[in-house]
Structure 1
């Protein structure tokens, strides 16, 4: 079993059931979430990536399937702000207390508004980063939303 991370410790404190999955993290992967899904042999739609964003200049987290692209326009609308942008990696690490490639939506240093893509709710369980590179936490998407205080909204960028 993996050593505790702030994410796993938060789940244990909340008496929340979860499963851990470890894999060989590839720092050179083009898309970390897709590499994790492939390494674990699961559908990329079930492995959610944690994206730190700035919504109206304030930090927020977007949680979306690893094979999808977040629409910053939809995120801004959900946050009721004019615009949203991806957060710089150094700022994301400072705010969350995690390293890029290991950012979990759970157990962050400071709780920020969270937005969970509605498509995640179609799965019995989803996986999110466990707080370090090479570690994923599996839990029910409704529990993920409850634990992060996430608004469940459509975040997917429509192609075209």
Structure 2
């Protein structure tokens, strides 16, 4: 699965939103469970298909020493911020109020495909790097490399 692109959607009065059909089409039939959590860097939410979430947790688990109090606290907080969900028969899911508040979401969202996960942002403009700065950043990151 590789999610790309951005899709705008509206929430209903209960906080439900349609999971974008273009993203649903990328999922295998067996992938019907998801995890929703706060992003650790930005005011957005992140949706993981369960298989991607399990891989993410496994990486974190192997890097942490749960006998170290600080690392145990990191693991606890990372997992406690996560909520599992399934889509309803109409392809919708509920965004919990506490997560809506965290991300500043009120009535509309933008889904942004981010490889094996999807970010959910409050619908607003200018969340990306300015075009000239983006070009310079990509050049600095990839310039001169040929593979």
Q: TM-score, normalised by structure 2?
A: 0.31
Q: Which has the larger radius of gyration?
A: 2
Q: TM-score, normalised by structure 1?
A: 0.29
Would you tell me which structure has more helix in proportion to its own residues? 2
